[in-house]
Amino acid sequence: MIEVHFVSADGTTEKIVAAAAGTRLLDLAQANGQPLEGTCEGAMACSTCHVLISGDDAARLPPPSDEEEDMLDFAVGASRASRLACQILPISPN
């Protein structure tokens, strides 16, 4: 199990949840009351599961695919820290 920290967009609320390695971040977020829509259900046909990955965690993830980067062009508030939650599988802390 690994710890995933969800921080609200305004930075005022943090929720920490446990996740099994291989759990898709979108599924974990939705199961824990986070406001990620995921309209396309992970088919990478929208950007409604846009998240910002903070700090060292971004470097621990595989880089986004070209297709993911193309969809991030449509995300509101996208930045270098942007990812699609449907494309992120939490990895072990090691």
Whether the predicted pLDDT of 55 surpasses 90: no
- As a whole number, the mean pLDDT across the chain is 91
Strands (E), 1-94: 2-7, 14-19, 50-52, 82-84
- According to CATH, the topology of domain 2-87 is Ubiquitin-like (UB roll) (3.10.20)
**Domain limits of the chain?**
2-87
Whether the predicted pLDDT of 14 surpasses 80: yes
What confidence score (pLDDT) does residue 18 get? 94
Q: Say which residue, 58 or 86, is predicted with more confidence.
A: 86
More confident residue, 24 or 92: 24
Does this model's pTM top 0.85? My answer is yes
- Chain position carrying tokens 């977020």: 29
Q: Which residue bears the tokens 């710890």?
A: 3
CA distances from 7 to 12, 32, 44, 52, 70 (A): 7, 12, 23, 10, 25
Is 1 a residue whose pLDDT tops 90?
A: no
